[in-house]
Amino acid sequence: MSSVPERSDIDSEYKWDLESIYASDDDWEAAFEDVQGRLEELAEYEGRVTETPGGLLELLERQEDIMRDVSKVVSYASLRSAEDTRNQEYQALQARAESLSSEAQSTVSFVEPELQELSEEDVESFVEAEPALAEYEHYFDDVLRMKPHTRSAEVEELLAELGEVAGAPSDIYNMLSNADMTFPTVENPEGESVEISQGNFTKLQKHPNREFRREVYEQFYDEWADVRNSVGTALKNSVKKDVKYAKARNYDTARAAALDGPNVPVEVYDTLLETVRDNLDYLHRHAELKREALDVEELEMWDLYMSLTGDEGPEVTYEEATEYIVEAVAPLGEEYQSRVAEGLENRWVDVYENRGKRAGAFSAGTYDTQPFIMMNYQDDIASMFTLAHELGHSLHSELAKDEQPWHYADYTIFVAEVASTVNETLLTHHLLENVEDEALRTHVLDEYLERFRSTLYRQTMFADFEHQIHTVSEDGGALTPDRFDDLYGDLKQEFYAPANVDDRIAREWMRIPHFYYNYYVYQYSTGISAAVAIVERILNDGEEAAADYREALALGGSAYPIDVLETAGVDMASPDPIESALGVYGDYLDEIADLLDLE
């Protein structure tokens, strides 16, 4: 029987090194108690933030010192929790860490409202009197920019305290989908029993046996149907939370609030939706090519993940994937390449799926730790691309930490998704140009087309759905599981018009955790668009363009995201990068159609 192993059955070399944060849970406990006690030091500054330039500098430096320790405490607990969501001890640690984070945010919630009492001229005089404050000029600009949407210190403290409660819909969803739900076991064509999981569902949908794919598809979505009311309630309340918080901060819509945080114009969102909708013909052609390649009368939803080659791609072990990735990032410079290799050798990555492990993949860490990458590696091409993606995030963090102080080392998701997708794009170019195995090359091209489909088109469809459900709530409409099904099903029908869009796929919204992240998913689409443009420039112009890109990554949060990408040579206020990326998608569709003799 093919089943998901327990975590204890996986070798330590394939597990991330959380002991590099704290050697033991006891050390975490000591750090937790220490930093919780030190929060009172920050509370003493309330009402005195802008008394003197020297006092302001002292507060900012002390806040950094304490918050860096808070982030380590929170990161360790969160990562331990992700290892096995069934482990109640670590779920308790994460709950305590979230409470600490909420308490810390509440404690310093007075800082920005008091800073906003200053004018731009006041800030200039403070910097002149205390030159060390010059390091915070972008921070001051960002704080003053948000003045119309910042409430009184009392209200800000209340909103910060509610942060833990506001995360309840997402927490409930994650526990339900990762810890409590158990998916059926099915028999594959080889006679083996296979346990369906969130981690392996996509891989099973690539099995060459169509009847097996159908069974997996139906069993998987039927399991979701049994929890539709719970998931629908969680998503409804997550949307309501976004809307209420936006109103509390004097925004007309939740979308305006979400995009104003990183200072991304709302027009960027609208441009993305409009440009992609205007180019659905590429996606429709991809669907038709799949139907022809599979030699079926009608493309079904359980056919969507199938390779255009009509079979499963060749196995790519984790070791093979790491070698390919290190070679692929060579155009980004020797130092970048060597740091990728070192990270892979030093247990940045938690490689394989285990029972209870959080689904999906992510890159995490803090200013004072190494990066940590969670994978559910499946020995396939898709997993290799996902690893390259997460390494892009990790190296972004490393470069930003090298060049920026703590308060600028973090960066927005809008920029983050560019760094991850640049690595995917470089991996594609490297494999297509250097691998002699024709089957592998064809599957790589097919995988990259799938990445386009699932990133530029699918995530834009998600973004459209997310905007629609928030608009329904803002207009006073009722969000029920049936309404979610209707809205999502209509979008799926529009985007995949050549295929048979059945009733089960209308439930797909239930398995997407990113809908709880508040206008997050559109950034995958803008990210791949910018990444394609950046890679084309690097491959054409060499080290000069690579240096510009590394400089953009190293900016971290010291500039607004639109300006950061301009440093790398991309204007995301224009539809040009999106249209260019869509054109590349079309070119690759032509190339694979020629390779496979499809129309």
Is there a shared CATH topology between the 7-166 domain and the 202-312+409-599 domain?
A: no
Q: What is the pLDDT of residue 1?
A: 44
What letter does residue 359 receive in the DSSP assignment?
S
Q: How confident is the model at residue 2 (pLDDT cuts 50, 70, 90)?
A: low
Which strand (E) or helix (H) includes residue 352? strand 349-352
pLDDT, average across residues 444-461: 93
Question: Average pLDDT of the chain?
Answer: 95
Q: From CA 539, how far away is CA 536, in angstroms rounded?
A: 5
Query: b/e for 1-15, b at 16 or more Cβ within 10 A?
Result: eeebeebeebeeeeb
pLDDT surpassing 90 at residue 163: no
Which tens digits make up the pLDDT trace of 222-237? 999 999 999 999 999 9
Band of residue 164 on the pLDDT scale cut at 50, 70, 90: confident
Q: Residue ranges of the domains in the chain?
A: 7-166, 202-312+409-599
β-pairing, 362-364 vs 185-187, is: unpaired
Residue 46 has pLDDT above 60, yes or no: yes
* Residues that are catalytic: 390
> Whole-model pTM?
0.84
Render pLDDT for 358-413 as a digit per residue (tens, 0 to 9).
Answer: 988 999 999 999 999 999 999 999 899 999 999 999 999 999 999 999 999 999 99
Checking if the pLDDT of 534 tops 90, the result is: yes
Looking at domain 202-312+409-599, its CATH superfamily turns out to be: Oligoendopeptidase f, C-terminal domain (1.10.1370.20)
Look at residue 372 and give its three-state secondary structure.
strand
Q: How many CA atoms lie within 13 A of 68 on its CB side?
A: 15
- Cβ-count burial 93-120 (b if 16+ within 10 Å, e if not): bbebbbebbbbbbbbbbbbbbbbbebee
112 vs 133: CA distance, rounded Å? 15
**pLDDT at position 335, please?**
97
Label residue 203 by pLDDT band (50, 70, 90): confident
Q: How many whole angstroms from its chain centre is CA 386? A: 11
Question: Residue 342's pLDDT band (boundaries 50, 70, 90)?
Answer: very high
Residue 98 pLDDT exceeds 80:
yes
Q: What's CA 114's distance to the chain center, in Å?
A: 33
Task: Classify domain 7-166 by CATH number.
Answer: 1.20.140.70
Share of the chain above pLDDT 90, in %: 87
pLDDT at 79 over 80: yes
DSSP 266: H
Instruction: Please report which confidence band the pLDDT of residue 179 belongs to, taking 50, 70 and 90 as the band edges.
Output: confident
pLDDT digits (tens, 9 = 90+) for 236-247: 999 999 999 999
